[in-house]
Chains A and B, each alone.
Chain A
């Protein structure tokens, strides 16, 4: 496959840094496999927790950003009336696994530029017994026309193609992916919101039920209901409120990168990683933990490569050389990731960010990463046809970083 060189950034300019804006109040509305509540309920609970965590009145929140797939026919605007909030900045970001990073980027700029003072960023989705199946056939025009009529395997079948190709091309084994899944389950055992509460052995992973060859049960996330959120405000405001905060060193976002690749083996990070680290003033080796977007373990492998922790195709060897628990040589998905916590729709796009803020503010629910100063949270998603279109990332730091 042609591996064309990433295009040079068109503007060549340096984006303004984020030093005056911060992230506070990481919250999670506990996940449930199925809920009879609508997405509105989960957004409301997330907002309520954000207010409780920050001590702010509802009226102090003047910006709202919502990522959700299951609000229809509502969007964020319907939520303002539903929840009784008056805001001067509003965003609706149904970008699945990328909505957290995208929401973060937009909210940071809004606060930085004075369009809003406090932005509540929330990713929330409900999951009724039949909603996942119903959402598959209507996810996108391309999926409805050109994917769903082919076996209706959903994302499992799409990622089976990518996984099989990656394994064949780069020599990854089921054991490599299994090592990630087992380590993440170990991380999840210390995280009370994780839906999976039992230890996973490599043997169980390898011999699990076949879903879509080579993907087996524990390669797949569990669709569920839940919400994640955080607040964006100025550093000064956070300090005056006495709230612990995490800083943002740099971010990136790219959609529909490498459209001519025959099959996905890389994401837009390849184009953006140089600027991402340069703007952060650090290198990959300085990152103390990584929260990949782990909808399937192959995507974790691809993200480790594309974000500079190893060369393309080097992930299998990287995985064999490292340990991935919170106290391991390469702490990864320290709350368990989606694979062990669950995938609550768009909340999954927030999971890594919220866990990163917790790690960097010392408000851990899961096991802490020792002396963590920098964390990388990755967004990825929207497989509208044969590949995930959105890729994003954010490098967060401890307040003193």
Chain B
């Protein structure tokens, strides 16, 4: 039913690059709850705290009992597709370039009728469908009607692909290939259909374990890249910046210790130089050109992934300066997200718990394996999720943080 995606033809360098457009992004404040949930990969609707009525479209008060407290709650999304249409004429420039565009009207089992983008695998109305939430190109949450059962080439649906960052047939830059995480990511991206993967390594004269095997893969090209060196970043951007569809910044410097256990600022400065300034250098060189390629055909520039840390949310004193550098990177990533939005390029922040590497030697399990982390990142790309928290520790920290940041601060400082 869904034709498989075809490998895009080589881009004709003479032709003009199509400028990125966004679908309508204006929303009321109430409606941003849908976006907030979709950014985490969840479909939530407002539910009345008093009478339990599920509401849609988002609103300020319950339409049954007028109570003012509506809470966003995850929804199963099951419902009946009661009518469909295919828009051939749109008033919006984004959709004008993309018609015909399929829509469905779905009566959710929990009550409301919703207008939704219609996945090509859905049968004609009337039929059962499942509503899910995704971020569209503007970064706002929208609803999609999916078939109940998986169909072949599900992810290749033309409309769905506008809302995801699927690596299939895309060109990826992984900024640091010397770590286990970097290498696992490269392999996971290739398994997910990435066209080619550029892999940065800061010190090409050193022979890191696994790099030679990686370089032997036909999709992989090793390139020198040192995030602490502005010239190195600029040079690589000049070379491949105009072709990178997905950038994954895996480079990080991680040393243990807080404040009193070490004298001087050199180590902390080195962490900041990679973890914060490195991101800034990358963003300045690669950001504008990727943003300009947000609608460059079937395999446009689509995502920027930052490997942060769950410690970016709240400082973990035994790794205090590292936490601070990741918090700085998180703040900068929010700025980058705002600046990339006009191009429709998604900024994905990854908040892993402690990774099972030498720098977390002294931390107890569970620790996150490189492959599990790589799988989570590729999954986020495929689903178009904006923030992910891979691993049990990260999930627990996030839950504690969401409930009470102050309590978490006290809990981890004993």
Contact = CB atoms under 8 A, between A and B. Distances in A.
A261 to B, nearest CB: 9
Q: Top 6 A-B pairs ranked by shortest CB distance?
A: A152-B92, A160-B85, A146-B57, A145-B31, A153-B87, A151-B87
Interface string B53-97: 000111000010000000000000000101111111111101100
Contacts of B24: 137, 144, 148-149, 152
Nearest to A384: B57
Contacts of A141: 28, 57
B36 interface: no
A212 B88 contact: yes
A161 B83 contact: yes
A152 B115 contact: no
Contacts of A160: 85, 87
Contact of A161 (B30, B85, B89, B99): B85
A302 to B, nearest CB: 15
Interface of B: 23-28, 30-31, 56-58, 63, 80, 82-92, 94-95, 99, 101, 103, 105, 107, 113-117, 125, 136, 138, 140, 142
Contacts of A385: 57
Contact of A213 (B30, B85, B107): B85
B23 A263 contact: no
Nearest to A152: B92
A330 interface: no
A309 interface: no
A165 B83 contact: yes
Interface string A255-295: 00001001100000000000000000000000000000000
A34 interface: no
B259 to A, nearest CB: 47
B28 A144 contact: yes
Interface in A343-401: 385-386
A164 B83 contact: yes
A152 B94 CA distance: 9
Given A213-B85, A262-B82, A150 B90 contact: no
A132 B25 CA distance: 18
13 contacts: A137-B92, A145-B27, A146-B56, A148-B92, A149-B24, A149-B136, A151-B99, A152-B23, A152-B87, A164-B83, A164-B84, A209-B88, A263-B107
A211 interface: yes
Nearest to A133: B91
Interface in A58-93: none
A24 interface: no
Q: Which of B56, B63, B115, B138 has the most CB of A within 10 A?
A: B115
A210 B58 contact: no
B91 A153 contact: yes
Contacts of B27: 144-145
A313 interface: no
A4 to B, nearest CB: 15
B89 A156 contact: yes
A213 B31 contact: no
B21 to A, nearest CB: 11
Nearest to B101: A151
Nearest to A168: B125
A161 B105 contact: yes
B87 A157 contact: yes
Contacts of A227: none
B116 A211 contact: no
Nearest to B32: A145
Contacts of B105: 161, 165, 263, 386
A168 B90 CA distance: 24
B63 to A, nearest CB: 8
A160 B102 CA distance: 12
Given A141-B28, A142-B57, 17 more contacts: A146-B31, A146-B115, A148-B24, A149-B24, A149-B140, A151-B87, A152-B91, A153-B89, A153-B101, A156-B87, A157-B85, A157-B87, A160-B87, A209-B88, A212-B85, A212-B86, A262-B107
Given A132-B91, A146-B115, A164 B125 contact: yes
A154 B80 CA distance: 23
Q: Which of B58, B83, B142 has the most CB of A within 10 A?
A: B83
Nearest to A154: B91
Contacts of A213: 84-86, 88
Interface in A201-240: 209-215
